[in-house]
């Protein structure tokens, strides 16, 4: 399977991390998001013109969380994405929460502070930045309260590019592996 | 099972619709979102202080899409949420897409145009409204292109409150039932 990605995209990175945790080999193809031509070609792979995009034969899949779940569904015996209904619902809850609330808030910050200037989309919009900060604080408090008292640390042996192995705690509480990958 | 909801919340309505399609009985408990005390109590059920919230015994679940998937997982033999990996990934893709892109855009419009005044949160922010319109147009085009040529109409026999039955087309293409419920 091939993954169109960019190393600076946290959405792409969480798919790469998931594939490593599941021992699913991926052929990584980097998209130069600063190049207009490559962004146009990306729009042919994903109508939202965003990374990551998974190519599995003739099946094209985008939306990072859907790709993560698909990779788990293709991995018999995997324990990262639970099979039991309530445990799975708990993982799904946090993935949807991240997509609906936390990730868009973080996205405002990274767009205004980092990406906007790199793709020549104008100056930082201070009102937008303030809105992003408010939302990060609002939903960050929800995450803080959830994580308080839980052991959610990741042991990264060789760095993100080389390999990530789940801790014993992550094996017991798999949603943490998804949350930290937000 | 009990669902804390509000009839004007599209997030709550899509859970109610899903439960009807799956023939899962739900005890509906309406939360008065305009009442500060009820909103505070809602915050004890869901740290995001949002509807819907599902109570299944001692298991509390929030995030509407996670609830929809959970109800499907509890329904043996259901055909709304596919079991085959690619078909399921396609439904997941559109649910995450809606949560990450389309629903936040719609949310800006409904917050600024409807909810803000009802909860006494001040006047409409015209810059925010313009941002919401841009995002709805941007992602609405993605949805338009996806739906072009597909039969995604819903046959609503008795209205949302009384019952919704899937069309033959929806049975063949179940993601449409989820998309329209955005």
- Angle, helices B126-147 vs A126-147, to 10°: value is 70
Partners of B127 on chain A (C-beta within 8 Å) are: 127
Q: How far is CA B25 from each of CA A52, A117, B19, B32, B119, rounded to the nearest angstrom?
A: 38, 52, 7, 22, 31
> Six-digit token pair at B40?
């505070």
- Give the whole-angstrom CA distance, residue B119 versus residue B109: 15
| Range in A134-143, B4-13, B164-173 with the lowest mean pLDDT | B164-173
Mark yes or no for CB contact A145/B47 under 8 Å.
Answer: yes
B55 three-state secondary structure: strand
User: Which single residue is written with the structure tokens 């039991």?
Assistant: A84
To probe the interface with A, which of B15, B63, B144 has the most A CB atoms within 10 Å?
Answer: B63
Task: Name the minimum distance, in Å, from the CA of A6 to any CA of chain B.
Answer: 19
- For B12-72, where are the E strands, in sequence order? 27-30, 53-56, 59-62
Q: Which residues contact B172 (CB under 8 A, 6 or more apart)?
A: none
User: Sorting pLDDT into bands at 50, 70 and 90, what band is A149?
Assistant: confident
ipTM of the modeled complex: 0.82
Residues of chain A with CATH 3.40.30.10: 2-73
Mean of pLDDT values over A63-91: 96
A100–B101 CB contact, under 8 Å? no
Alpha helix ranges (H) inside chain A? 10-22, 36-45, 64-73, 85-97, 103-110, 116-118, 126-147, 168-172, 175-180
The predicted model gives B27-51 an average pLDDT of 94
The structure tokens listed for B11 are: 């997030």
In this structure, what DSSP letter does residue B76 have? T
The topology (CATH level 3) of B85-178 is Glutathione S-transferase Yfyf (Class Pi); Chain A, domain 2 (1.20.1050)
| Residue range B146-158, pLDDT digits in tens | 988 887 665 444 3
Q: Is the four-CA dihedral B57, B63, B64, B67 of positive or negative sign?
A: negative
Find all residues with CB under 8 Å of B36, minimum gap 6, and list them: none
Q: What is the CATH number of domain B2-73?
A: 3.40.30.10
Q: How far from A69 is each of A53, A73, B163, CA to CA, in Å? A: 14, 6, 31
Q: Which whole number is the average pLDDT over A148-157? A: 63
Residues of chain B with CATH 1.20.1050: 85-178
Bridge-based pairing state of the strands A27-30 and A53-56: unpaired
pLDDT band of A62, cuts 50, 70, 90: very high
Q: Which chain B residues contact residue A100 at CB under 8 A?
A: 63, 99-100, 103-104
Highest-confidence segment of A25-29, A37-41, A79-83, A155-159: A25-29
User: Percent of chain A having pLDDT more than 70?
Assistant: 83
Closest C-alpha among A83, A93, A80 to residue A17: A80
Q: What is the dihedral of CA B143, B145, B149, B153, to 10 degrees?
A: 20
Percent residues over pLDDT 90 in chain B:
67
CB of A83 within 8 Å of a chain B CB? The answer is no
């Amino acid at each position: 399977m091939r993954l169109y990605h960019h190393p600076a995209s946290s959405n792409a990175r969480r798919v790469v991390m998931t594939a490593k945790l599941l021992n699913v080999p991926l052929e990584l193809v980097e998209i130069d998001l600063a190049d207009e031509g490559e962004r146009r070609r990306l729009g042919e792979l994903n109508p939202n013109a965003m990374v990551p995009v998974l190519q599995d034969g003739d099946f094209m899949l985008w939306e990072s969380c859907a790709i993560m779940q698909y990779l788990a569904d293709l991995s018999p015996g995997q324990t990262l994405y639970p099979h039991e209904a309530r445990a799975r619902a708990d993982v799904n809850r946090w993935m949807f929460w991240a997509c609906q609330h936390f990730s868009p808030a973080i996205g405002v910050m990274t767009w205004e502070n980092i990406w906007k200037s790199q793709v020549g989309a104008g100056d930082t919009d201070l009102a937008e930045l303030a809105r992003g900060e408010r939302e990060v604080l609002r939903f960050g408090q929800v995450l803080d309260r959830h994580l308080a008292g839980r052991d959610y640390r990741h042991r990264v042996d060789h760095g993100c590019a080389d390999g990530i192995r789940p801790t014993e705690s992550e094996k017991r509480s798999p949603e943490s592996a998804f949350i930290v990958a937000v």
